[in-house]
Structures are given as structure tokens and as C-alpha cells.
Chain A
Amino acid sequence: MTSIPQQTGKQQLGLVIDLDICVGCHACAVNCKEWNTGGHSAPLTDEEPYGADPLGVWFNRIHTYEAGDGAEGQTVHFPRSCLHCEEPACVTVCPTGASYKRESDGIVLVNADSCIGCKLCSWACPYGAREYDHSDGVMKKCTLCIDRIENQNLPEIDRVPACVSTCPASARHFGDLGDPNSDVSQLVKERGGYDLMPEMGMKPVNKYLPPRARPTSNAPSPTPTSTAAAAPGGTGSPFLDWVDRTLSR
């Protein structure tokens, strides 16, 4: 059923990611790949992993951004995965019912047995959270490690998503964001946790904690000296550049 379940005040499992603490080590992405390539949506296929143009399915990708300029500028490491939205467009566009939001805990999942691989869910997601597996012909995405968090064979301390358990800086937190008294909800409240692209109307469950304010420094900001840059818009290939120039004439 691809309609969103009517849930009120129920469990909404999700992640809280602390951008102040994340050191951009990619350990969460690596452990995610490691666990999930043997988990619920296994395998996370890699195509030509040792070739010139490798391509593969990952549920978690770590960007690094610069925000602000000069002395006020900051480098922010930014892990990005499925946000398990309250109103996920990826679920409602699915023509087969393969894409669904679990009524019990709000986790957004794909039923690989009924997915036809039309890719429309990936078009509907503004967060780029869904990745198509060309080898399996189905869409794959973060499962919030349902095969860990409910796994009675694991010690209780390990019943958290792989990305959370592996983070060496404790920048990732897992819990029930539908319960205002949970640890994660309290953390979001304390630190001003926010939604990504709220204007898209998907109501993401996962929250991001902003970098804390830096102590202001009186040191003069360094002036940029290097002005050398590659030719703007060049592709690096003389032939493609020529095609581009010819068509632009």
C-alpha cells in the first residue's frame, strides 16, 4: 500500500546527526555498506569496482561543505542518507506498493519482490536518498538497519544502525523522534536540530544538529593570493572543448 499510514503520536524511528562533531571520516558510510551488503537489501552491488568508472549502491554518503567566507568560514562534514520522512513522496509515487512506510515505526522500506525498477521514487526524493541497483533491477535505500535494531541475536548495545554503532566521534544518534521525551528528541530540542529542505514538504524525521558557534577570532583573515584557475567550463578534453565551442558559435 503506497498511501502513507495515518499515524498519530506513534513511534518514528530516525537518526540525529551532529554536524558540530562529525569529522568526515566516512566510517559510517563504510560500515553501512559492510553491514547492508549482507543485510535486508543485500547485495549493494558495485559495478566495475576496480575499473576506471566504478559505480555502486551506497545508502550513506558523506559530503564536505564550506559555509561562509574568510575567518567566519567553516568546513562542515555532512553525512546524508534517507531521512525516513513523515510524508515521503517516494512512497506515494510508487505504482506497485513496493515502496512503503512502516506503520509501526515509520521506517521507509522497499519490498524488493514487488519493485519493478521504474525509478520514479528516486525522482520523487529531493534528498537523493534512493539508489538503483542495475544488477538486481530494483531500488535500494537505507533500512535504518531493521536487521540490527530488531535483531535478538545481537547484544542489546549493538541494536542500533551500523552507522551509529561505528561512529568514532559519537556524531550519530538513533532513537524515537516521535516521542518528545526520548533522548534524541531532547537533543534536538537542546541543540536546535533542524530539517533539511523543509520547503519540499516531506517532513523529514531525521534531524541535523547545527555546528556550534565558534569563538570569534581577532586574527586578520588571510588574503587570497592565488588567482590561477583552470579555464572556466573546460571539460579537460580538447575534442569536447572544440565540440562545445563549435556548438556555441
Chain B
Amino acid sequence: MYPAYSVIFFTTASGAGYGMLVWLAILAAANAVSPGLASGIAAFAVALGLITAGLLSSTFHLGHPERAWRALSQWRSSWLSREGIAAVVTYAPALFFALGWVVFNSVEGNWLIAGLLAGIMALVTVACTGMIYSSLKAIPRWTDATVVPVYLAFAMSSGGALIVTVLTILDPLASHWFWLVTLATSLAWALKLLYWQRIDNAAPVSTAESATGLGHLGTVRQLEAPHTGENYIMREMGFQIARKHAARLRMIALLIGGAIPVLAFIIAGTVSGPTLVIATLIGLAGTVIGVLLERWLFFAEAQHAAMLFYGAKAV
């Protein structure tokens, strides 16, 4: 699949923002923060800013962005519609939660309930994002059971990296929160490794033979394409530049996005002062680059059944 930058930016940015909301809810429930003006404005501005920027970017690739509101209507059948509704609904408790934190300096009582609702709706939204891809039978590897957990885990990993960074500067957290973020990051990459292992070993679902129904005659090869140039389907579904280099890019992503942040956040959990800030920033940078590479690979490595008509052997 063609890795469109708008979709990569949307899923990673909004994923990180929703992950932050979940962490904020957990921090509030654990009574681990002292809600105040500076930390609240910074944390909620980053979280809601990323969510909003992501949602806006997802409308950039629409042919008719002015009709985007119509996407909220088909929640009965469409995961994209459900994601849109969940995204909009999340704003209400999230803004209420932010109001309590920033203006009333409180994350207790009803403010906490709003926070917990925001956290739950954030997880629901990210799960819907994962389901949009996971429900597409035409891209068999995406139907793998790890796809939705991977989306959730990377939201928690990138959201966690952002939250410790913002709060390290404004309202330092106890060291065990660094270790929880390390845990989320480790879990995300463990699930991603599992996904890669499973898609590499999955049996083909469809073949050129089943696509054409000519398998009883023998192996099917494309002799002539319908036209000498490309078409929309070939550009959108036929992207495969990355495949030869996919193994190398996976290793780079795992190193930068997994190993470096894990080390950096473990160090951040044991030190203080400037070293703490530097370690946290390194952890955040690695996490961001890693999740972008992971998402790029998610699209670039995916093979669509329609390409079986254009010379692909199996998907």
C-alpha cells in the first residue's frame, strides 16, 4: 500500500495524543501529580493539539474535506465512521478534565470521572483506528490479531514518552513512571516483532490462481497488462519500493524506536538534573522516529489482493 504521509501523520500524532490522555487519566487516578496551571496547559495543549492536528491532517487527503462531517453517519457498519464519532466524543470529557486540572487545580471527584472517561474514549478511538485497517480482508496481513493491540501499545508508548517529557520539565514525576513508560515501549515493540514474525510466516490467503480462477490450467502469469502506463489501483496498492529494504528498516526502527528509548528512560528513572532532561529528550526523539518508521512500514509492507491481477503471485 502507498504510505501516504497524511495517514501516517494522522495515525501517529493522534495516537500519541490519545495515549497522553490515557496517561493523564492514570496519573490523576494514582494521585501522582499536583494539577496546576503550567503543567496542565502544557500537557493538554500537546495532547489535544496532536489529536486535533492529526484529525485535520486526516481530512487533507480527502477529495472533499468540506463533506467530512458526513463521515459520522455510518457507525452501524463502518469503523472509519465509528473512529470519527469516538474522536469527536472524546473531546467533551477531555476538555472537562483539562478544565478541572488547569482552572480548578483539581483532578478529584467529577474531574477525575471526566478524566477516566476521556482515557477510556481515547483507547476506544485508537482501537477504532486499528480496526479500520484490521477489518480489510483485501489486505490479508492487516487482519492479523496483533494489529489493534499494536496500535494501542504504540499510542501508550508515544503518549507516555511525551507525558514524561512535558512533566519532567514542569512538574517532575516519580521515577517509577519512567519505568512504566519503558514497559509500554517494550510491550509495543514486542507486539510489533510478533506482528512481523506472524506476517512473514503467514500462508497466502489468495493467489493469482484464485484471483483469476484459472489455477486448474496451471500456474497463472500476467502476459499483458491492460495498459502500458499505471492506473490509480497500481499507484495506491502497488507500492513496493520498501520490500527489499524492509528487513533493514525494521532493524533501524527497532533500534531507534525500541532500544534507545528503553535505555534512555531507564537512565532517566535513576538520575536527576540536566542528565534527566537530556535522557528524557533522547527517549522522546527515539520514540517519535521509531513510531513513524513503524507506521510507514505498516503501510509500505502491506500487499493488497487487487495486485494479484497485475502480476503479484500471492498475498
Contacts and interface: CB of A to CB of B under 8 A. Distances in A.
A96 B137 contact: no
A112 to B, nearest CB: 10
A126 B212 CA distance: 12
Contact of B226 (A29, A122, A211): A29
Interface in B243-279: 244-245, 248
B74 interface: yes
A89 B71 contact: no
Contacts of B139: 123
A200 B137 contact: yes
A194 B68 CA distance: 39
B10 to A, nearest CB: 12
B84 A95 contact: yes
B230 A53 contact: yes
Interface string B126-154: 00000010011111000000000000000
B213 interface: yes
14 contacts: A53-B230, A67-B221, A68-B219, A69-B218, A93-B79, A95-B71, A95-B81, A115-B63, A119-B63, A128-B309, A133-B63, A138-B64, A196-B210, A210-B214
Given A2-B77, A96-B70, A126-B138, A65 B214 contact: yes
A115 B219 CA distance: 39
Contacts, number: 216
B221 A65 contact: yes
B192 interface: no
Query: Of B206, B208, B217, which is in contact with the most chain A CB atoms at under 10 Å from its CB?
Result: B217
Given A65-B223, A69-B219, A131 B231 contact: yes
A132 B214 contact: no
A201 interface: yes
B213 A196 contact: yes
Given A115-B64, A137-B64, A53 B309 contact: no
Interface stretch (B19-27, B181-189, B232-240): B232-240
A127 interface: yes
Contacts of B237: 123, 128
Interface in A147-169: none
A58 B132 contact: no
A2 B80 CA distance: 12
B5 to A, nearest CB: 15
A97 B216 contact: no
B67 A96 contact: yes
Nearest to A202: B137
A72 B217 CA distance: 8
Given A138-B63, A199-B206, A97 B73 contact: yes
Given A96-B74, A115-B64, A66 B229 contact: no
Contact of B68 (A116, A123, A197): A116
Nearest to A201: B137
B244 A244 contact: yes
B223 A66 contact: yes
A93 B213 contact: no
Given A123-B138, A200-B206, A75 B74 contact: no
Interface in A40-78: 53-58, 61-69, 72-76, 78
Contact of B305 (A1, A56, A80, A126): A126
Contacts of A122: 232-233, 236
B106 interface: no
Interface size class of B (residues with CB under 8 A): 35 or more
Interface string B197-223: 000000001101011111111111111
Contact of B77 (A74, A92, A248): A92
Contacts of B84: 95
Contact of A114 (B67, B76, B227): B67
A210 B220 CA distance: 14
Contacts of A208: 213
Given A61-B227, A65-B220, A200-B206, A55 B232 contact: yes
Given A122-B236, A138-B64, 12 more contacts: A2-B78, A55-B229, A67-B220, A93-B132, A93-B135, A95-B70, A96-B70, A116-B63, A116-B70, A138-B63, A139-B63, A196-B210
Most buried by B among A94, A116, A119: A116
B156 interface: no
A132 B236 contact: yes
Q: Which A-B residue pairs are the 3 nearest by beta carbons?
A: A117-B63, A137-B63, A68-B218
A125 interface: yes
A138 B213 CA distance: 31
Nearest to A76: B214
A143 B306 CA distance: 19
Contacts of A134: 63, 232
B225 to A, nearest CB: 7
Given A75-B223, A126-B138, A61 B231 contact: yes
Nearest to B225: A63
A81 B155 CA distance: 39
